[in-house]
Structures are given as C-alpha cells and as structure tokens.
Amino acid sequence: MTPADTGAANDIPKHRYDARLANAIEQHWQDRWETERTFWAPNPHGLLADVNAERAALSKLYVLDMFPYPSGAGLHVGHPLGFIGTDVFARYQRMLGRNVLHAMGMDAFGLPAEQYAVQTGQHPRVTTAENIATYRDQLRSLGLAHDPRRGVSTADPSYYHWTQWIFLQIFESWYDADADRARPITELTAELDAGTRQPDDDGAAWSARDAAARRDYVDRHRLAYIDEAPVNWCPGLGTVLANEEVNAEGRSERGNFPVFKRPLKQWMLRITSYADRLIADLDRLDWPEPIKLMQRNWIGRSVGALVDFDVDGTDLSIRVFTTRPDTLFGATYMVLAPEHELVDKITPNEWPRCPQEWRGLFGAERSPRQAVAAYREFAAAKSELERTAEGRVKTGVFTGAYAVNPATGEYIPVFIADYVLMGYGTGAIMAVPAEDERDWEFAEEFSLPIVRTKQPPADFDGKAFTGDGPSINSANDEVSLDGLDVAASKRKMTDWLESSERGEPTVTYKLRDWLFSRQRYWGEPFPIVYDAYGPRAVPESMLPIELPDLFDFAPTVSDDPDALPAPPLARAENWVRVTLDLGDGPKEYTREVNTMPQWAGSCWYYLRYLDPTNEDAFVDPAVERYWAGATHGGAPTGMVDLYVGGVEHAVLHLLYARFWHKVLFDLGHVSTAEPFGRLFNQGYIQAYAYTDDRGFYVEAKDVVERDGGYFLDDAPVAREYGKIGKSLKNVVTPDEMIDNYGADTFRMYEMFMGPLDASRPWQTRDVVGVYRFLQRLWRVCIDEDTGEPHVDDQALDVDTARVLHRTIAAVRGDVDALGFNTVIARLFELNNHVWGIVESRGRAPRAAVEPLLLMLAPLAPHISEELWSRIGHSGSLAYEPFPVHDPALLVETTAEIPVQVNGKVRARITVAADADAAACEAAARADERIAELLAGKAVRKVVAIPGRLVNFVV
RNA sequence: GCCCGGAUGGCGGAACUGGCAGACGCGGUGGACUCAAAAUCCAUUGCCCGCAAGGGCAUGCGGGUUCGAUUCCCGCUCCGGGCACCA
C-alpha cells in the first residue's frame, strides 16, 4: 500500500458499506443459510420431509431454471441473469407464504463435457466433477437460495438409473390412436392374443403368426423402436444427429462439420404420435407467443388430401399429398423425389413421344433409365449448401412415364426432381404450376403446360397465383368447382375424391420421429441387450446399467463421408458381452453400444428435483402430486409454475421434455399434462468489444472513452457489440464484480439493467449506481463512524406513509410480472425519501426502514438480512411476511391535471380527486393563463376527463 | 423469400386499458466539504430559439384515425431472432 492510499483509507469511516464489508456480510449469511438449512423445501413425506416440515402444509410453488452445462470456462456475467431472476421471484414467494421449490442441477452428460475432457486428456467423470465444483462455488457466491439436496447431476448413476427407467417405460409402450394416448405394450399383446384387436399391418391373422413374427410386430409398435432410416451422419463428430441438430447449411450445430444423409439402424422415439397433442396443449400454457409459434411451425401440421394417380400402362398408382386439392384440375405434371421407390418401377426402357426439352440435360443423350440414374447421382452428390447456393434453379428429368389426372382424365408426364423431398408427405406431388410458385418455375424450365384453376385479380402480374379467388376450368362430368372460393372448392373436391375412391382427406406433419441414439461415450447407456432376433429390455431390477470405465473414450471421427459409425462403447468388449437371466434362464446377450443423446437427462430433471434421493421410484407419487399442485385443488396444467431460460431451447429441449412428460402422464406416473405451465425467456447480456487498427481484438477492460472516441493507451480503437467471450476479449466475470462491489450489488445491477426478457449491454461503469444505493441504505440504518444502528420508533409523517404504501403496491405488482428493474427504481425512491428524514432528524423511522428491508430482501438478500438483524431481529427474514399496503393511504384527495388547448399542455391545475367533468372544466377556465388563451376565441369542444385532463378545442 | 420481435435523451431504460413523454440509474455541468484529491452531499441536465417570460421541435421514416397517438391502422427503413423448395 502506498502512503497516499494509507492516508485515504484513514478518511473513510470505519463502518462504511464497501466491498470488503459486503463480502464479509455475504460470507456470513451464506454460511448461516447453509447451517440453518434455511432454504430446504420440505416434501410432504419421505426422505426430504424432516426439516422445516411445517412448510409442507403451505401451498407449493415450483420455480425452475434451465440447468447449466458445467463447461470448463466457468461463469461470466451473462450466465446468471436468469438464475438471479428466479431467485428474486422465489424469495419473494417465500415471503408470501409459499413452500417454494428452487434448486439447481447440472446437465453433465453430452458433447461439451466430452469434448472438454478429450481436449484435456482426462476422463470426463473427473473433468465434469471439477467443473461442477467450480460452478457450485460461483453460484453459491451469488447468494442463490437453492435447496442443495435437490441439485442432481445427470451423469450420476443414481440419476441416470431413472433416465434408463423412463426409457424402458417408453420402450414398453405403444400409442393407441383410438384412445389417443400411450398404453403399456402388454395391453397390446393381450388384446391381440384375445382377438379383441386385429393387426393393423395388412399381414396374416395374429393367430397365424409365429413367435418371431409376433415379436417383430410388437417391436414395430413400440414408442421406442429401431429403424433403418435415412439419418444425419456426421463423420466429423463421429455420430449421428437429430434433424434439429443440423443447420440449414447441412452442417452440425456443434462444430459445424458436414452432415450426410445415409440409411442406418438407429433408435427412434415416436414423438410424431404426440404431434396433435403437442400443438393443442400449447393453448393451455402461459408461454411467450413467439415460442408457441416456433413449436407449431416446427411440428408443421398441415391439412390436405391424399390423391391417387394411375400410372399409364401399369397397375401402379402414385399417391401424392396436397394441401390444395381444389387445384387438381390444374395438375399438368407430377414430380417424385429422386429416391422414391416407384421410380424404378415406372421408368420405361425407351422414351415415349415427348418434347425434347423434357429430357433436359440428363436425358438428352441417354435412355430414361440412364437419365434417371444420372440425375439421382447428381442430386445425391449435392450438399445442402450447394443446393442453397444455386439460387434454387429447378432441375429434374422426365422419367418417360405418364399418369392420369383423376379429375381431367388427361395424361400428364411424371418427372423426378430434387425440389420434392422424400421426407415429407408421400415424397411425390401433383404439380399445379398456375397456383404454386415452385411448380411454375419448374414448368417454365421444362416448357410444361400451365392451366389456371383460380381466377387471379385483374392487376395480377402473371405468375403463379396462390391467393384466394373463384375456381375456373374446374369441372368434369361428375363435379364442378367453378365459381367457388378456395375453402369451398377444397371441401367439394375432397368429398368427390373420397366418394369416388380416388383419394381421402389427411393431415401431415413436418415433425419426424426423434432419432435417439448417439455414437458417444459420455451419455446414458441404453437398458437394452440383443439376442439373435433383436432388442430385449433389461429388467428394472438390473438398473442402472453403468457406463464402463474406458481409457479411450474419444469418438471415432473421420473426414470420409463413407466411414461407418464406431461407438466407443463397442471397445469395452467385456462389458458388451453379458450373460443375463431375463426370466427365461441365463443366456448370452450383447449390450447396446450407442448412448442416449444429451437431451435425455434434461427431459425430466425437474421431476427428479422433487425426490432426488428416492431409490425405489423416480419420484414418490404423493410427492409428485404435492408439487404438481394436485393436492391444492383445481386441475393443474403444468408441473412447474415458472420456468426461466434462454430462447435457444424454444424447440429442442422444450419439445422433447413435453413429449416425455406426456408419455409419463399417459402411463399414470405424473399428474399434469404438461411439464412447464409458465415459461419466461430471459434476454442475453452482451458487451462491447474493441479492435485496434490491425483489426485484432484488444482487452476491453483497458479501453478508455475520451472525446467521443475509444482509446487503448493513446491509440484509437473501434467499438463493436457482441457476445461475451474470450475470442472478443470482453469477458467480465461475476467473481471480479463480487470482489469489487459484493454479490448484492452485482445481483441488483443485473436486475436493474433492463427488463428480464430483453438483451442488454454490460457496462461496468453503470454498476456504481446500485452500489451507491446500497451504501446509502446502509447509512440510513447505521452510523458509519460507530457502526451503531440509528433507527428509532418515530411515527411516520403522512407524506412518508403515502410514499411507503405507494411503493409497496407498485413493488408487489411489478415483482409478479418479473419487472425487477422498476421494482428497484421504486426502492431507490423510497430509500432517497427516508434518507431525507435521516438528514433532517438524524434517525430513520423503523416503520419505514423495516418494510424497505423486507422489500429489498429478494433482490439484495445479504445486506437486508444483516441490517434486519442489526436493527434488532434475531432470525432470518427469509420467511417474514412481505409488506402489505394500506389502500386508504393510496387514495389521493387532490389531483394535479394538465389543461390542454388544442392538445398542447398549457397549464396544470389542482382539483379535488373526485371532481366531476364540469368542476374540472370550471377550474380550468378559472386558470389565469388558460383564460388568457381562450379570450375572444370560440371554444368548439371541451374534453374533460375527471382525474385525467381538460382539453379545449378552439 | 416467409414468419416473429424490436427501434424512446450522450448511455441503460420508464410510461396502467389512447390522456402531463423521458420515472430510476449512469454520464455531464455547477456548487458545498477538503491544503488537494477521492468519497459524500446539494442543485441542474431531451434538443433548438430567447436575458427572461415564453415559444418551437421531439418516441426510426411517411401517411391515417382521434379533441388527444410512444400506444391503434396502412405503407416503408434499419437491427435482432426463427424457418427456409414442407407440396
């Protein structure tokens, strides 16, 4: 310490609230909360029922954060925004008398943990444990009031035991479309055996099938099934990925490696069975509308019709899906996806009579079969990126086959083209160029006929018309749509198709079944073994199936798109080969060597928080009912009352978790139809970054603002705005903020920056505002020189009482809406008001200070607890009742209202609060300035709203 | 391209159901205290004209509805996000 510093330190009062004192207070209270088990939320019974038992009689509130991946980098100031928000809300709700469940687990399996482990060369178990410890320390220092008993880790065998158990529930179920819910698979076999249900696969009668055929049938109906389907194979990551994990450029979301479609046998979960319910139940949820919309779009329900087109010269027909059956009369050609199974069957050996353009580039010099083969090769070789880069020029080739338009009876050519996707609808379309832009482009490219079946408006520019209008050219001997609008035409055409057995109404979805296996080490092993015929479930009694300890756990990656997946677990040969008794005597089996995707653990962690130490069940049913709210009356929709997290999980995690929850609901394991009743997306904290004249990032900390510019030393630098991270050299950590100001200041600043759902820039310069507020609050209560409290029992003057009660009313309203920034503004005002009293009278009134501390406690819990205790209370204020306002003190006797002339404010007058319109007008006219402005002018109209304003129109 | 969301002082932001735009904080300016500085306290601070009284202009841009619009409607611009040949 320099002499100057020493001198300065001597001037600062001994008991000032500075970072050093704040840190001491924070340590003290964090320790005390821990030893007194302040935030242990009791269950109604069971292992977590012994402490604070009386609170289990209160009504429950479940507040949840999207739990973090414990990466090696630790937290920066952007991470805890949502965690602090939920903590404030949860602490507030405790003071309202709720039994609040708030905990923080760790999403410990998955790619980030595995990649970090691969980089550092240590076992993921070790690095994950270290990272979790770091996260826990950082989170603890923020003063978050979690129940520490419930902070599960998904990579813990006692946790994934039950992830595997839930997988078995899914595996042992099927979807009963008639009942519209999942049911145990044993009920399906029982009904088939009893003959009360017939197989739905057009095969032999159930009684005529042998054991292997029956087992195959049942396996194909499970909610978890193995399918050889085109999957997203990513050699660069050495694993397959879900559609949701592949971006528009055909690359992996993680790592940005190329992804290839190829058929592979993989585990699939039948989420498509739930498509309708996943859409319908969104209406019951208190979620942001944009998120609901994203889920609806992702599921992509569309209503339309299936139509059959007979292929000329064969007994085959092509089935298409269309949302516009009303345009069938305008279908002048057809297109199949290049991989469509009928392509080989309908393609002739020789070209029929046809325009040369139809044969295009691929068919010019070749036979139809050669042309089709050449085009298929061309289409398969294109990456998604190339397709996008081409600007969507339509390509394709005529197959040489013709089909019959069922409405017109005309022969129309059948093409293959890559603008038709195998994965959607039937992989085949009827092309109506006049009413579809893509078909129009293709028709122009290949000189195909275009027939309008909808009358476009007079000013229409001449290309495909996709709007509404009367049908034209749409009649045959049996049906006429002419003159009808789109909706009526659709109805009439669908009826005709159905009655004439040429088609039927249907619904399709963009949503695909969920690809559920990964070729990874650091994930949950499947509770599945194989015999010669296929998969067998491992019985519950043998769970958990623990991950074997591998030395080499890295995935097998490759640049070769033809490389085959090689799961790391296959290397654990002693683990893979097992002898088990699955009820029919000891036999040899092979274990499943894929692992579950990262989403598995995060699909249900909120359920394990309820009963984390239960070894007999994933959650005790009575405990589940208590936290679902089912024991408090009413019909709860969502288990969790408030779920806060980033918008990046709008579809993936939130859709998967809803799906699992609904399966568990159908099977009677949970009592709500939805997991998350209210969802809130917190914004992001970003920060400024700076580049020097060479374009390199420089440490943002060292940059100073001067004369409207930014400088590092004396060199000017350019300012950018972006994510907080090492690459932009703009990282600010909670640890340094806590060191410099204390956790309460840090929490308050994060909450004060703006509304919780908005993104905002971090500006360390602004932190001092809330720091000053806390210092002033400290001085309101404590004499800085002596450290003694100077709060007394003086009565509140009327003015102070009004300010106090207005503040209470506003704070309650704003906290409910998670409007913490305005809560803080109100508390600043109250604190400043009380400071005025301290300045004039030397002491602060207890009647104002106590409610102020109680209202501040959720936001800045440490200083609030400390002052609460210093002014004479022995216990924690965590469960003190939140202040209640006196409505009588909010009633104003007079009101100051503006007086406008022609909409411009010209004066303000004070009237009785209950003055009627006439009285307001009279008072306004009596105002000297208004009288002057109105003198000699004819008042055309007077708008007088009692208590609001008076407006004269002249 | 389609679908969402946003734009308010030098900065972060506030404003209930159409009724005083700019709460609260940062920063700035002036002052008190101090040998001085820091800290603290007080005052002031949207922009323009004016000594002042006062006036004018202002919520991305252009229109509209209304006595009155940050708020509602129409048409744009820019920024952020989602989806992307889904028949």
* Residues with Cβ within 8 Å of residue A192, at least 6 apart in sequence: A198, A199, A206, A214, A217
Identify whether the C-beta of residue A307 lies closer than 8 Å to the C-beta of residue A320: yes
Which nucleotide's C1' sits nearest to the alpha carbon of A824? Answer: B24
Dist. CA A620–CA A657, nearest whole Å: 20
- Per-residue confidence (pLDDT) for residue A632, from 0 to 100: 58
- Model ipTM over 0.85: yes
Separation of CA A758 and C1' B7 in angstroms? 13
Token pair listed for A44: 């109604």
Separation of CA A767 and C1' B38 in angstroms? 18
Q: Tokens 């479609």 appear where?
A: A261
A607 burial via Cβ count (<10 Å: 0-12, 13-18, 19+): buried
Separation of CA A741 and C1' B27 in angstroms? 20
- Per-residue confidence (pLDDT) for residue A190, from 0 to 100: 97
Separation of CA A826 and C1' B30 in angstroms? 28
Which nucleotide's C1' sits nearest to the alpha carbon of A435? Answer: B87
Dist. CA A351–CA A644, nearest whole Å: 62
Which nucleotide's C1' sits nearest to the alpha carbon of A417? Answer: B85
- Per-residue confidence (pLDDT) for residue A382, from 0 to 100: 66
Separation of CA A904 and C1' B68 in angstroms? 9
B strand bases under 7 Å from protein CB: 3-5, 11-15, 19-21, 23-27, 36-42, 55-56, 67-69, 80-87
- Per-residue confidence (pLDDT) for residue A246, from 0 to 100: 76
Q: What is the CA radius of gyration of chain A?
A: 35
Which nucleotide's C1' sits nearest to the alpha carbon of A436? Answer: B87
Which nucleotide's C1' sits nearest to the alpha carbon of A768? Answer: B26
Separation of CA A833 and C1' B32 in angstroms? 21
Q: Which residue is nearest to nucleotide B55 (CA to C1')?
A: A906
Identify whether the C-beta of residue A268 lies closer than 8 Å to the C-beta of residue A221: no
Separation of CA A811 and C1' B57 in angstroms? 36
- Per-residue confidence (pLDDT) for residue A386, from 0 to 100: 59
Dist. CA A784–CA A779, nearest whole Å: 6
Q: Which residue is nearest to nucleotide B66 (CA to C1')?
A: A903
Token pair listed for A853: 């501390």
Which nucleotide's C1' sits nearest to the alpha carbon of A321? Answer: B87
- Per-residue confidence (pLDDT) for residue A911, from 0 to 100: 85
Which nucleotide's C1' sits nearest to the alpha carbon of A392? Answer: B85
Number of H helices, E strands in chain A: 30, 35
Separation of CA A904 and C1' B22 in angstroms? 17
A94 SS3 class? helix
Q: Which residue is nearest to nucleotide B38 (CA to C1')?
A: A8
Chain centroid to CA A69? 15
Which nucleotide's C1' sits nearest to the alpha carbon of A298? Answer: B83
Token pair listed for A218: 């049942």
- Apex A444 CA angle, A439 and A448, nearest 5: 80
What 3 state SS string does A810-844 have? HHHHHHHCCCHHHHHHHHHHHHHHHHHHHHHHCCE
- Per-residue confidence (pLDDT) for residue A715, from 0 to 100: 82
Dist. CA A87–CA A107, nearest whole Å: 19
Separation of CA A948 and C1' B17 in angstroms? 14
Question: CA A84 → CA A146, A418, A645, A724, A772, distances in Å?
Answer: 11, 50, 12, 18, 20
- Per-residue confidence (pLDDT) for residue A8, from 0 to 100: 42
Dist. CA A698–CA A716, nearest whole Å: 11
Separation of CA A774 and C1' B46 in angstroms? 29
Dist. CA A119–CA A315, nearest whole Å: 60
Identify whether the C-beta of residue A388 lies closer than 8 Å to the C-beta of residue A310: no
Q: What is the mean pLDDT of each run of 10 residues along chain A (954 residues)?
A: 39 86 96 96 92 90 94 88 96 96 95 78 90 94 96 97 98 96 97 94 91 95 90 81 72 76 87 96 92 94 95 94 96 95 94 91 90 89 58 86 96 94 92 93 93 87 84 94 93 96 94 90 96 93 93 78 81 93 93 94 97 96 91 71 93 95 97 94 90 85 76 82 85 94 96 92 93 95 90 91 94 93 96 93 94 97 97 95 93 84 84 85 86 82 86 86
